[in-house]
């Protein structure tokens, strides 16, 4: 059973560019959350998708947007990249309403903005 998979693993972009990160949730999971982990910091919640809608959002600007597809996979898009967007982006999946709901994290996409 594959866990949460993210692609690509590493990415280098320049300021002002746009980037798309992808996530496939663990089998049986229908909810996807995205977190940003800057160097030396804990992960910060960006947003959560369920039933193809954004359900919750953290304190991130509109440059950060997302999408969830009917197969529950998800994309994170960041427009007009800034140097400060350099971070590890983590995707986490869970199953809504499970008796012991847990978040499962992927290994992340390391984004470097030059």
Partner 1 sequence: AQSVTQLGSHVSVSEGALVLLRCNYSSSVPPYLFWYVQYPNQGLQLLLKYTSAATLVKGINGFEAEFKKSETSFHLTKPSAHMSDAAEYFCAVSHNSGGSNYKLTFGKGTLLTVNP
Q: How far is the CB of 107 from partner 1 (least distance, A)?
A: 5
**Sheet containing strand 74-78, strands side by side:** 5-7, 19-24, 74-78, 64-68
Which residue, 3 or 75, is less far from partner 1 as judged by CB?
3
Measured from the CB of residue 62, what is the shortest distance to partner 1 in angstroms? 19
Query: How big is the CA angle at 55 (ends 45 and 73), to the nearest 5 degrees?
Result: 80
113 has which bridge partners? 13
What's the min distance (Å) between Cβ of 108 and partner 1? Answer: 6
Query: Interface residues with partner 1 (CB under 8 A)?
Result: 4, 31, 33, 35, 40-45, 48, 50, 55-56, 58, 90, 92, 94, 96-98, 100-103, 105-108
């Amino acid at each position: 059973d594959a866990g949460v998979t993210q692609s690509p693993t590493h990415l280098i972009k320049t300021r002002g560019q746009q980037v798309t990160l992808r996530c496939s949730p663990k089998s049986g999971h229908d909810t996807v959350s995205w977190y940003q982990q800057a160097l030396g910091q804990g992960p910060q919640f960006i947003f959560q998708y369920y039933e193809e809608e954004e359900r919750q959002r953290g304190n991130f600007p509109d440059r950060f947007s997302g999408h969830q597809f009917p197969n529950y996979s998800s994309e994170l898009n960041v427009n007009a990249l800034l140097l400060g967007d350099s971070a590890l982006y983590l995707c986490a999946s869970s199953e809504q309403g499970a008796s012991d709901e847990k978040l499962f994290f992927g290994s992340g996409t390391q984004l470097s903005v030059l």
